[in-house]
């Protein structure tokens, strides 16, 4: 990658962060006020782990 491409990519990244900042700030505020839902997190992770174990066992 040339240095000019890296500069443009860095500038685009910074602009994207400034563009998304209000939405990210609001999402973080809402997430601090929300109740913890560990079952909603652990169930999909457990299913993925079981599926991977199943795939490994099938080989």
**pLDDT tens-digit profile of 7-53?**
999 999 999 999 999 998 999 899 888 888 888 889 999 999 999 99
Q: Angle at Cα 57 formed by Cα 54 and Cα 58, nearest 5°? A: 90
pLDDT confidence of residue 37: 81
Domain count for the chain:
1
Separation of alpha carbons 53 and 39, rounded Å: 21
Q: Angle at Cα 52 formed by Cα 51 and Cα 54, nearest 5°? A: 65
pLDDT confidence of residue 51: 98
pLDDT confidence of residue 10: 96
pLDDT confidence of residue 55: 97
The candidate with the shortest Cα–Cα distance to 18, out of 10, 56, 41, 38, is: 10
Q: What is the pTM (predicted TM-score) of this model?
A: 0.47
pLDDT confidence of residue 47: 97
């Amino acid at each position: 990658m040339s240095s000019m491409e890296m500069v443009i990519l860095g500038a685009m990244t910074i602009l994207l962060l400034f563009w998304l900042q209000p939405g990210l700030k609001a999402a973080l505020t809402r997430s601090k006020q929300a109740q913890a839902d560990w079952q909603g997190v652990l169930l999909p992770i457990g299913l993925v782990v079981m599926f991977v174990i199943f795939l490994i066992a099938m080989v």
